[in-house]
Amino acid sequence: EDQSAAKAERAPIQARAVFVAQLLLNLTTMSTQARGLQNFISDLRNAKGKEDEKKRVDKELANIRKNFTPKGGKLAEDGSNPNLTSYSRKKYVWKLVYIHILGYDVDFGHAEVMVLLRSSNYSEKNVGYTALSLLMKGDDPVMSSVRSTMVKDLTVPTPAGGKKSAPTDAAQCLALCATANISGLELIQSLHTEVLQTLVAKSSSAHVKKKAALCLLRLVRTSAKVISGREFAPQVAQLLQDRHLGVLTSSMSLLYGLASQAPNEYESLIPYAVHILGMLVLKKACAREYLYYRTPSPWLQIKLLKFLQLYPHALNTDKEEKKDANGGGTHVSQLTSIISKILTETDVSDSINKSNADHAILFEAVNLIVCWGSSGPAQLRDGAMKLLGKFISVREPNIRYLGLLTMAQLAQLEGSAESIKKHQATVLVSLKDADISVRRRALDLLFVMCDTDNAERIVDELVAHLALADAAIREEMVLKIAILAEKYATDLRWYVDTILKLISISGDHVSDAIWHRVVQIVTNHPQGDLQAYTAATLLVAASPRRCHETAVRVASYILGEFGFLIAERPGMSGEEQFRILHQHWPTSDNQTRAILVSTYAKLANLYEECRPLVAPVFARCTNNVDVEIQQRAAEYSSMREAFSPEAVEDLLREMPPFEDNKQSALEQRLREKEGDNSAAVQKAARPSIAERKRAAQSAATIKAVEDVAAQAQQETGPIEADPVSPMSDGSPGTAKKANGSKVGIPKEVIPAMRKAFSNLCTSPSGVLFENAMLQVGVKHEYVGAQGRISVFFGNLNKTALSHFRATIEEVDHLRIQKQGTQGLLDEDESGGCDVAVRTQAKLLLIVEVTAPFDDAPAMKVSFETENGELHEYPLRLPIVATCFMEPVTLEPGAFMQRWRSLEGQDRECQEVVKAPPNAPAIDEEYMKRIATIVTDGLKFGRCPGCDPTPWTVSGAATFRTGAKDMNGNNINVGCLVRVEANPQAGAFRVTTRTLHPLCSKAVKNVALVSIKLA
């Protein structure tokens, strides 16, 4: 067993040593005479373990050190042993080289290497340069003593003695190889000139030129500044005219390395590269020894094509005309002929070697077409696409892999999308290939070919395949599916459903960045019913006891933020939301529990019935071993004792919209995994039509809100955009007294109050009422049939306001949940709350509309001042029918068909309104403001093509209600509106048509008021 273990330990070392030993024995010219070296190598190969090998190496090193020291103790001037024979010196140096390659430190013998290096004998010089390349570095002190020898061998080719078959340039070749292998900036700076001269010298043989070109390439990679491109380009042009294909191949390697660092300096060499490529492809001019399975020098062709890929604008016609005018030749037409021939004549061969060589050339030609982009000939792109479509269906996996990879790059070109889609079925088949590398390339191609038209099909296919995919590719699939679903979602509800499918199928591979992105998108898109739909869907997804933890996390966050939107639905109350989430507490990790604790705090803030359920959980968590959970529970449980109810409500409000970064975290993660040059990364970086549309809608909404807020600020005085805090400055006024009677709204305030109410009907926040004593601010938001209205009562008086109460009118068409500062909602006149100076009382209303209506609900505000005056202000909340509209976009034909079907007195309301006297003339800019009122204020969708003139604005919407029909579906009302302007008369005609008379009247009224304010 010990011997077996020792052999296993020695296996890697022996495998390496076998090759090196064979190499050394072949290099030596001693064959049967090098018994000492052969025996030493045999001893090491036969060693039973590492310790035995080390003992043998130490023994040999001691012997070599002894022989390098002369018996008399007198060394030569260079530190070598003058008594050593040539045979012994070479044998000992070979042993040192072998020991060094095995991984042992060799720190002596340099003087003997120098002796061999300076010898004129080929066998000694061969050993010397080999040892120099392996045992020394460019910054070793002894290197200064060998530079002169290396310079002499490079520049003065002399016959090497001692071997009749040694060529005259043998010493040059050895010096070039050593220069390339020895690192060190100082050595490079001192020898690069000689290497360059050797390369361009007419007396240099083909072998020397090949080695000089590759040596110079190594030097340039180490220090790019050793060569000036402008000065060296003409010399490279001379090299490219050499007829020896070996020299051309080495020269192209050098040229590609130089051009990769500074492409502009070598652009003038494009005609030379095209000429050589034409000779190989079109004329088949190639020496027999460079034919590889009847393919002329495929390696040179590949290097030429890769060089041309550095110049994507080489086909630019303007540059070509300039070159033609200067006598540069028409190489562009020759280049297109070359690429066309490569595309048409390459086919799958029975010989694997020939097929590999031909397809290597072909794929580089296709890469060149990709680099040209839209500036290249369209027939070449079509031919490449057709050929690649053939290759992705062959049985050979290597060709199929390269076909998928190249097609993904070709798909990035403008105008190639439709031709790519023809191969979608074939790519889906490759997604099930046995080779995982082919599956990865198929996934990349599907990602690249995806667009708005085929996104749902491709995503559904990928989701279906995800259940069968092995773990090695699942994480990549989940990431790319999530990016595609987001980029091409015309309906964000489909995006949410897709992510939930990913979690249910492969939740372990859904990273935090993916569900964080869901939260960000849902939070940033309050339009429509996305937030309510997501909350309801996640509540259903989290209902089973066995639910993936990622689903629990995203459900916890979304329900904490938007659960109030579905609280009125059957089985979705706040108490039910807590019960569903809390059933996962025992099986959740600390990160999930921390999110749950925050959600519980928000549920307890919104619903009184949840507070007794949440309190025991917080009590247990205050002693939790996890610091994060303990801190959250302790802070939330003590929050109501430390702060006022209003402050607690502010702290636990829903989170504001996230910052909309240009690059999502998912795209950044994809870039980290695949690099900047990946076709998938480049595809993900380009915004889709759906993304641009959503961004434009968000920007328009933000701008409209800002415009309305700015207008309200100008009209009502300096107030904050959010009327919550800080409060507006107000100077105390003189309230009119009535002995023993109630003080109402001052007459001078009524016009401003009506204007503020009209503004709030179409804007999300603002001041509803303000006088010298009180400021009433409103912030409201709606999703479908539900709304959330926050009302803030600010004391502007110099003294406190007592018995402060707010009474909300109960109406049949609204279901209202009320929650406010303690005492604010008291019905008893002796009750109410106290509002100190410069503080606020707050009221939260959760409403759901159940039927059409045309009047806003009333709110009565009453309070007493310090001197006993009783104030009572009758107000109306800006809850109107247009708040519950959902935009609809109709085609012109569908719009006119519905418009005609809704004719009739019961369904149509029409009224003409004059523009205000101080309003500007009705022009296109004025009509743009009217269009903004219809879309952003009334929440109607514009219907492109429906407006016969620029003076008409048409829109469609659906009035959402929470009432149910006999089948359990929500009852909704379709609504149409048309605003027609008469610029000469300075008037507008507003026509509304709906299925319900109250809807028609309500929409008309809000539209008329908004137009007057425009």
The Cα-based distances of 641 to 617, 627, 629 in angstroms read 17, 22, 20
Q: Which residue has the tokens 């959740």?
A: 588
For 514, phi then psi, to 5°, come to -70, -50
What integer pLDDT is reported at residue 165 of this predicted model?
53
Ranges 256-260, 345-349, 862-866, 974-978: which has the least confidence:
345-349
Distance CA 278, CA 325 (A): 22
Alpha-helical regions (H) of 156-297: 170-181, 185-200, 206-222, 229-239, 245-261, 270-281
pLDDT of residue 147: 82
Encode pLDDT of 365-388 as tens digits: 988 888 888 777 888 888 888 888
Residue 692 is predicted with a pLDDT of 78
What is the predicted pLDDT for the residue at 662?
Answer: 57
pLDDT band at 159 (very low <50, low <70, confident <90, very high): low
609 pLDDT higher than 80: yes
3-state DSSP assignment of residue 817 = strand
All residues at 6 or more sequence positions from 72 whose CB lies less than 8 Å from its CB, including other chains: none
As a whole number, mean pLDDT of residues 242-255 equals 91
The CB-based long-range contact list for 677-681 (8 Å cut-off, 24+ gap) reads: 678/444, 679/408, 679/409, 679/411, 679/412, 679/444, 679/448, 680/408, 680/444, 680/447, 680/448, 680/480
Between CA 874 and CA 796 the distance in angstroms is 18
pLDDT of residue 29: 42
Q: Is 491 helix (H, G, I), strand (E, B) or coil?
A: coil
Per DSSP, what are the bridge partners of residue 942?
955
Q: Number of helices (H) and strands (E) in the chain: give both, helices first.
A: 40, 18
Helix, strand, coil: what percent of the chain each, to 5? 60, 10, 30
**pLDDT at site 724:** 28
Residues 92-111 pLDDT 10s: 899 999 999 999 998 888 88
Contacts of the segment 913-918: beta carbons below 8 A, 24+ positions apart? 913/987, 913/988, 913/989, 913/990, 913/1008, 913/1011, 913/1012, 914/986, 914/987, 915/986, 915/987, 915/988, 915/1011, 915/1012, 916/1012
CA distance linking residue 1008 with residue 1014, whole number of Å: 10
Contacts of 942 (CB under 8 A, 6+ apart): 889, 931, 934, 935, 953, 954, 955
The residue ranking higher by pLDDT, 514 or 25, is: 514
Mean pLDDT confidence for 189-212? 86
* Under 8 Å between Cβ of 490 and 538: no
CA pair distance 480, 502, nearest whole angstrom: 11
**What is the residue whose two structure tokens read 């390395």?**
257
DSSP string, 770-795: E-SSEEEEEEEEEETTEEEEEEEEEE
Cβ-based neighbours of 78, under 8 Å, separated by 6 or more: 111, 114, 115, 145
Give the pLDDT band (50/70/90) at residue 793: very high
Query: For 949-972, how does the pLDDT look when each residue is reduced to its tens digit (9 = 90+)?
Result: 888 999 999 998 888 777 777 788
DSSP state of 658: P
160 pLDDT higher than 80? no
Q: Per-residue pLDDT tens for 685-713?
A: 777 787 777 777 666 655 554 554 454 44
Between 669 and 478, the more confident residue is 478
Residue 150: pLDDT above 80?
yes
pLDDT band at 68 (very low <50, low <70, confident <90, very high): confident
Q: What percentage of the chain reaches a pLDDT higher than 70? A: 88
Which tens digits make up the pLDDT trace of 521-563? 898 887 678 888 999 999 999 999 888 999 999 999 999 988 8
pLDDT (tens digit per residue) in 912-940: 888 877 788 888 888 888 998 999 889 99
pLDDT at 494: 92
Which tokens in the block code for residue 753? 């109050």
Residues 569-575 have a mean pLDDT of: 88
In the block, residue with structure tokens 């009320």:
818
For all residues of the chain together, what is the average pLDDT? 82
Q: What are phi and psi of 887, to 5 degrees?
A: -60, 145
Residue 697: strand, helix, or coil: helix
**Residue percentage of the chain with pLDDT more than 90:** 25
Question: What residues does 976 pair with on adjacent strands?
Answer: 956, 993
**Whether the Cβ atoms of residue 866 and residue 800 lie closer than 8 Å to each other:** yes
Higher pLDDT, 510 or 658: 510
Residue 462 pLDDT greater than 50, yes or no:
yes
pLDDT, position 977: 93
The Cα 447–Cα 744 span in angstroms is 66
Determine the pLDDT at residue 860: 93
What average pLDDT score do residues 119-138 get? Answer: 86
The tens digit of pLDDT for each residue in 38-60 reads 888 888 888 889 999 999 999 99
